[in-house]
Structure formats: C-alpha cells, structure tokens
A = this chain, B = another copy of it.
Amino acid sequence: MVSGQGRVLELAVLGSLHETPLHGYELRKRLNALLGMFRAFSYGSLYPCLRSLLAQGLIAEEQPAPSTIVGGRSKIVYKLTAEGKERLQDMLTQAGPSAWEDESFGVHFAFFRHTEAEVRLRILEGRRSRLEERLDSVRTALARTRERLDSYTLELQRHGLESVEREVRWLNELIATERRASSEERPERDTTSTDE
C-alpha cells in the first residue's frame, strides 16, 4: 500500500520539478498559481512530501556554486533525479482510477503535455464517467426524497447540478478535440475520409 493512491502531491511536485529545480517556498507558489483554483497546497503536506521524495531518491538537493552562497539566505533547491524522471513517467502513464477524482484530476491535467495521447483520453473519459455517476446518484437520491425541499436547498441543488453538467460539457469538447487530433495525426484508415 506504499504505492500512489492519494499521493497526488508527489505527482504535482515531480511534475513541477521536471521543468526547473525549485525550493519549497517557490514550489508552493507555483503550484498555487497553477492549481489554486481547484485546491490549495500547504506547507504541512509539501515539506513532508519533499522529505519523502528525497528519501526515495526521486529528488536531490542541488547546491549552487559555493562562491555564490555568501549573501544568500539558506534555501534548499531540489531537482529531479534520473529515478525521479522515471517515476514521473510511470505516474503519468499508469494513471489509475484515482486520476479522475476531484483532487487528482486537475494535477494530471496540468501535466498533459507530458502525457501520451492515449492516456489523456483515458483520463478525460474516466473523469467524465465519474461525474456522470455523481449526477445519477444525486438525481435519483433527490427524486426519492422529493419531500418539500425549501428554496435554498433547491437553489443549491440547481447550482451544483449545473456546475457538474458544465464540467461534463467541457470534458466532451476536450475529448472531441483529442479524438480529432489523434485521427488527423494517424490518418491510416481514412479511406472513408470525411465520416461523422
């Protein structure tokens, strides 16, 4: 059970460090700029995560040229190791069902540029069906408990349903785009050309 169930943080950190080495404070700022609309990254989880990644040998401290340290305040810059890059690729290609939960999906999406087209499609579709399950479940539960709900509860339900439906539409567009791109990229069986 040491694998990667809820370790979205690890993915987020490895993904960020893949671009450029960073220290904790800056890393947190980048993550919050990138994904702050969906979740917040806190020191209480970030620093333990860095320590864990360090212990696993997936990241390493990078010390600047000794002459430069003079006036610098103490900061610990981390960079990806070769193992870390491997691990990142693994996480990006394996992308299990946890990838389409609320907390994980955004992180996976943020690194789609490093993800294979096939996996991208799988994640988008998984996320979509996850949301549709939720819609079904809430709708049927709501239909059963239709006993006079007050106007506030109704408004909350309406807003919630609309938000989720909106995300489903967004996913539909993305999926269509992905499909179109992948069929253009490999037009092997386009004998029937302009179908659907």
A172 vs chain B, min Cβ distance (A): 13
Beyond known contacts A33-B141, A37-B161: 9 more, CB 8 A cutoff = A30-B145, A33-B142, A36-B137, A36-B141, A37-B134, A37-B164, A109-B152, A113-B152, A166-B166
| 7 pairs, CB–CB < 8 Å, chain A vs chain B | A29-B141, A32-B141, A34-B153, A36-B141, A37-B134, A37-B164, A110-B156
Q: Which residues of B contact A37 (CB under 8 A)?
A: 134, 138, 157, 160-161, 163-164
- Contact indicator A32/B137 (Cβ below 8 Å): yes
Indicate whether A110 sits within 8 Å of B152 (C-beta atoms), given known contacts A29-B141, A170-B159: yes
A155 vs chain B, min Cβ distance (A): 7
The A1-60 residues at the B interface (CB cut-off 8 A) are 29-30, 32-34, 36-38
In whole angstroms, what is the CA distance A89 to B41 when docked?
A: 33
Q: Which residues of B contact A110 (CB under 8 A)?
A: 152-153, 156
The A146-196 residues at the B interface (CB cut-off 8 A) are 150, 152-153, 155-157, 159-161, 163-164, 166-167, 170, 174
Interface residue? A106 (CB, 8 A): yes
Q: Which residues of B contact A32 (CB under 8 A)?
A: 137-138, 141
